[in-house]
A and B are shown apart, each in its own frame.
Chain A
């Protein structure tokens, strides 16, 4: 009895062990079915993180799955290095590939090591990514930078990429003083063509920089007018984007100029340098095509000044310029062609213009212009017996008559002034011809007026018999 009872636990344990030995197969007595369970199947899809580890730079955050690139405000064009780093964490060589999908404000994203959008990485090797902004497009932009495993069409991550791209600054800026203390500025156009609102001009006279214009300037030049004579000013120009937010470029190069509102000193005198006729004050037939004018400059004249001479008869004028001399002195301005100006009284004026364009008070003088030559004089030979022969006749009133003997010998010239009525008598050479042995004499007779114009010559041929 005791042994039988002792076998009971053993029997029950044996039953339990047998039941446990069934493993995954079970039996359903009710349905007469047998079922084999095959559990634990699992599928995990591959991921980029199995190949690459991404370490963000200062303008990015996240990891290989969640990287977010926020570049902030970026001057353009700029290359931002070390935006993030890609490391090959697999045990084999891998190729990392970048693909940029917008924004237009970014021109490229490359691996710094290769300079291209793909990099071959040995196990454990890293490559940093550089992003270059577009020189032509400004403004706020966003897009995606995709990092792929090689050329895989599915094993990639798209990283959000956002930036505010400032426009590119003008590359050059020049400043030049204008008359009245104005300063003219001009600059090269920004390479930025998209989302460019214009330009802001900033000025300093040694203190803080202040913007001198209101809304952005559309053009590439500006004239600053609110100036103090003699003060030096420096300028910078910034390109400004359109849209929101408003973004400014870096500064252009600085250009400086001094305001100059002071005109040069007035010339002390002006007169013809090659005037003709009496007193060498006439513009005549001989010099009218190339009149020269002498200008006496005042002290303080600068070599950067310009002398301007104008000859005018009221209706018409001609002008020429020449560089001034440093300090007091005479500057002759030559080559004024006054042919087109009618005869009469010409006004000759001279002024000095400084580099800024300030113009002195003009100094003027007058010069009579007479380009009409007298008519050929009438001339008759008066044969005086054994005395000085004479030529008489008429010419332009007050003209100077000149006779030159050409035969039988050359002599002269012989001159006399015509009267107010034009009559003249001219003593010429003594020729002693005889009746039976006359001598032929020849003179060329001209009349010259006060302006220095000379008539055509009258050829006078006579027979001296006495």
Chain B
């Protein structure tokens, strides 16, 4: 019985630790003073199989600090595929009327989204635009992986 108690005790410890650090389990990202990231919607920010030159696509995502401590939120991304296309794609990140980033996808590093208090949500607009006069970019393809990170403020 003593061994069984020890096992149950260890299991309880593990579960407690997981609940403490994982937002998906308890609805909050941090139960002991850490920020956590959650977003609205699912799937990729962009999925544009036939983007026309001169057109754009905008996606608005609500980011929530689901942790228990304020966090500095950062948006980042890396691209792969056609470098000329990545250089021609104009990315604009804005929120609350303020432009946080406006440059090419190729030059996108990290963008500070701001400090979100625990439980605070903020809408961010992510706009992707392909400039005119780019006949050579026909059928060019690029992919990108984005991330939203939060660090304790």
Contact = CB atoms under 8 A, between A and B. Distances in A.
Interface in B82-139: 85, 89, 128, 130, 132-135, 137-139
Interface centre among B30, B130, B135, B139 (most CB of A within 10 A): B135
Interface in A126-173: 153-157
Contacts of A19: 18
Contacts of A44: 48-51, 139-141
A38 interface: yes
A37 interface: yes
A40 B47 contact: yes
Contacts of A156: 135
Nearest to A31: B151
A1 B53 contact: no
Interface stretch (A5-13, A339-347, A443-451): A5-13
A314 interface: no
Interface stretch (A22-30, A92-100, A349-357, A391-399): A22-30
A103 B47 CA distance: 42
A32 B7 contact: no
A21 B25 contact: yes
B145 A45 contact: no
Nearest to A43: B48
A50 B138 CA distance: 10
A43 B51 contact: yes
Interface residues of B, number: 64
A18 B48 CA distance: 34
B132 A42 contact: no
A7 B4 contact: yes
Contact of B71 (A25, A34, A37): A34
A38 B39 contact: yes
Contacts of A29: 21
A42 B146 CA distance: 11
A38 B89 contact: no
Nearest to B144: A41
A25 B21 CA distance: 11
B51 A36 contact: no
Residues of A in contact with B, size category:
35 or more
Contacts of A153: 132-133
A53 to B, nearest CB: 14
Interface in B38-55: 38-39, 43-54
Given A7-B7, A22-B24, A40 B50 contact: no
Contacts of B137: 45
B3 A43 contact: no
Nearest to B71: A34
Contacts of B25: 18, 21
B11 A38 contact: no
Contacts of A33: 35, 149-152
B148 A36 contact: yes
Interface centre among A15, A25, A44 (most CB of B within 10 A): A44
A49 B139 CA distance: 9
Contacts of B135: 154-156
Contacts of B46: 41-43
A326 interface: no
B149 A35 contact: yes
B7 A18 contact: no
A385 interface: no
B43 A40 contact: yes
A37 B44 CA distance: 9
Contacts of B49: 42, 44
Given A34-B71, A37-B147, A45 B21 contact: no
A367 to B, nearest CB: 93
B51 to A, nearest CB: 5
Nearest to A9: B7
Nearest to B57: A43
Contacts of B52: 45-46, 155
Contacts of B130: 43, 45
B53 A40 contact: no
A387 interface: no
A43 B89 contact: yes
B143 A35 contact: no
A45 B51 CA distance: 5
A35 B46 CA distance: 19
A351 B27 CA distance: 129
A47 interface: yes
Contact of B147 (A18, A21, A31, A35): A35
A121 to B, nearest CB: 19
A139 to B, nearest CB: 30
A23 B14 contact: no
B149 to A, nearest CB: 4
A279 interface: no
Given A15-B11, A40-B44, A40-B143, 17 more contacts: A18-B22, A22-B22, A25-B37, A27-B21, A31-B151, A32-B152, A34-B150, A36-B149, A37-B146, A41-B144, A41-B145, A43-B85, A43-B144, A44-B141, A45-B140, A47-B138, A154-B134
14 contacts: A4-B5, A11-B7, A14-B15, A15-B14, A18-B22, A27-B34, A36-B147, A40-B44, A42-B48, A45-B51, A48-B138, A154-B53, A155-B52, A155-B135
Top 7 closest pairs, chain A to chain B, by CB: A4-B4, A11-B11, A47-B139, A4-B3, A41-B44, A40-B44, A36-B37
Interface of A: 1, 3-5, 7-8, 11, 14-15, 18-19, 21-23, 25, 27, 29, 31-50, 65, 153-157
